[in-house]
Chain A
Amino acid sequence: MSIISEYGQILLILACLFGVFMAWGVGANDVANAMGTSVGSGALTVRQAIIIAMIFEFAGAYLAGGEVTSTIRKGIIDPGIFADTPHLLVYGMLSALLAAGTWLLVASMLGWPVSTTHSIVGAIVGFAAVGISVDAVAWGKVGTIVMSWVVSPVLAGTISFGLFRSVQWLILNKQDPFAEAKRFVPIYMFLVGFLISMVTILKGLKHVFKDSGFTLSFGESIMIAVAMGIFVALVGNYFLGRIKRDDSSDADNRYASVERVFAVLMVFTACAMAFAHGSNDVANAVGPMAAVISVINTGSVAAKSVMPAWVLLLGGAGIVVGLATYGVKVMATIGKKITELTPSRGFAAELGAAATVVLASGTGLPISTTHTLVGAVLGVGMARGIGALNLRVIGTIFMSWVITLPAGAGLAIIFFFLFKGIFG
Chain B
Amino acid sequence: MAISSPFSMMFGNSPIKPMQEHMKVACETAAQLIPFFEASIANDWDAANDIQQNIAELENDADKLKIALRLQLPKSLFLPVPRSDLLQLLSMQDEIPNRAKDIAGIMLGRKMGIPKTLQKPMVVYLAAAVATSEQALKAINELDELLEAGFTGRELKIVEKLIKELNNLENKTDKQQVKIRAALFKLEAELPPVDVMFLYRIVEWVGDLADRSQAVGSRLQMLLAR
> Contact partner of B79 among A36, A338, A370, A387, CB < 8 A?
A387
Smallest CB separation, A394 vs chain B (Å): 9
Specify which chain B residues have a CB less than 8 angstroms from the CB of A383 in the assembled complex: 150
Whether the Cβ atoms of A390 and B77 lie closer than 8 Å is: yes
Whether the Cβ atoms of B154 and A109 lie closer than 8 Å is: no
Which 7 pairs, one residue from A and one from B, show the smallest C-beta to C-beta distance?
A: A387-B14, A173-B153, A111-B2, A388-B12, A384-B80, A393-B10, A389-B78
Whether the Cβ atoms of B8 and A333 lie closer than 8 Å is: yes
Whether the Cβ atoms of B7 and A373 lie closer than 8 Å is: yes
Of the A-B pairs whose beta carbons lie under 8 Å apart in the complex, a sample of 28, sorted by A's number, is A36-B8, A108-B2, A109-B1, A109-B2, A112-B4, A164-B150, A168-B150, A173-B152, A173-B153, A174-B154, A253-B148, A333-B3, A334-B5, A340-B13, A341-B11, A370-B5, A373-B7, A374-B7, A378-B10, A384-B80, A385-B80, A387-B12, A388-B11, A388-B79, A389-B12, A389-B79, A391-B78, A393-B10
Whether the Cβ atoms of A392 and B76 lie closer than 8 Å is: yes
> Contact partner of A396 among B6, B73, B79, CB < 8 A?
B6
CA distance A105 to B15 in the complex (A): 35
Smallest CB separation, A353 vs chain B (Å): 10
Q: Which of A329, A330, A371 has the most CB of B within 10 A?
A: A330
A204 within 8 Å of B by Cβ? no
CA distance A400 to B148 in the complex (A): 33
Whether the Cβ atoms of B10 and A377 lie closer than 8 Å is: yes
Specify which chain B residues have a CB less than 8 angstroms from the CB of A259 in the assembled complex: 148
CA distance A254 to B13 in the complex (A): 22
B180 within 8 Å of A by Cβ? no
Residue of A whose beta carbon sits closest to that of B149: A172
CA distance A386 to B10 in the complex (A): 11
A10 within 8 Å of B by Cβ? no
Residue interface mask A135-176, B partner, CB < 8 A = 1: 000000000000000000000000000001000100011110
Residue interface mask A395-409, B partner, CB < 8 A = 1: 011001000000000
Specify which chain A residues have a CB less than 8 angstroms from the CB of B6 in the assembled complex: 113, 370-371, 374, 393, 396-397, 400
Whether the Cβ atoms of B9 and A342 lie closer than 8 Å is: no
Given contacts A172-B153, A333-B3, A385-B80, contact A340 B145 (CB under 8 A): no
CA distance A113 to B3 in the complex (A): 9
CA distance A176 to B216 in the complex (A): 29
Whether the Cβ atoms of B15 and A338 lie closer than 8 Å is: no
Whether the Cβ atoms of B76 and A391 lie closer than 8 Å is: yes
Whether the Cβ atoms of A384 and B81 lie closer than 8 Å is: yes
Residue of A whose beta carbon sits closest to that of B146: A384
B155 within 8 Å of A by Cβ? yes
Specify which chain B residues have a CB less than 8 angstroms from the CB of A330 in the assembled complex: 3, 5
Residue of B whose beta carbon sits closest to that of A29: B5
The DSSP consensus for interface residues of chain B is loop
Residues of A within 8 A of B (CB): 29, 32-33, 36, 108-113, 164, 168, 172-175, 253-255, 259, 326, 329-330, 333-334, 337-338, 340-342, 344, 370-371, 373-374, 377-378, 381, 383-393, 396-397, 400
Specify which chain B residues have a CB less than 8 angstroms from the CB of A175 in the assembled complex: 154
B16 within 8 Å of A by Cβ? yes
Specify which chain B residues have a CB less than 8 angstroms from the CB of A254 in the assembled complex: 145
Interface residues of B toward A: which range?
20 to 34
B191 within 8 Å of A by Cβ? no
Smallest CB separation, A105 vs chain B (Å): 8
Whether the Cβ atoms of B148 and A255 lie closer than 8 Å is: yes
Specify which chain A residues have a CB less than 8 angstroms from the CB of B14 in the assembled complex: 340, 386-388
Whether the Cβ atoms of A388 and B8 lie closer than 8 Å is: no
Residue interface mask B1-43, A partner, CB < 8 A = 1: 1111111111111111000000000000000000000000000
Specify which chain B residues have a CB less than 8 angstroms from the CB of A108 in the assembled complex: 1-4
Whether the Cβ atoms of B145 and A253 lie closer than 8 Å is: yes
Specify which chain B residues have a CB less than 8 angstroms from the CB of A172 in the assembled complex: 148-150, 153, 155
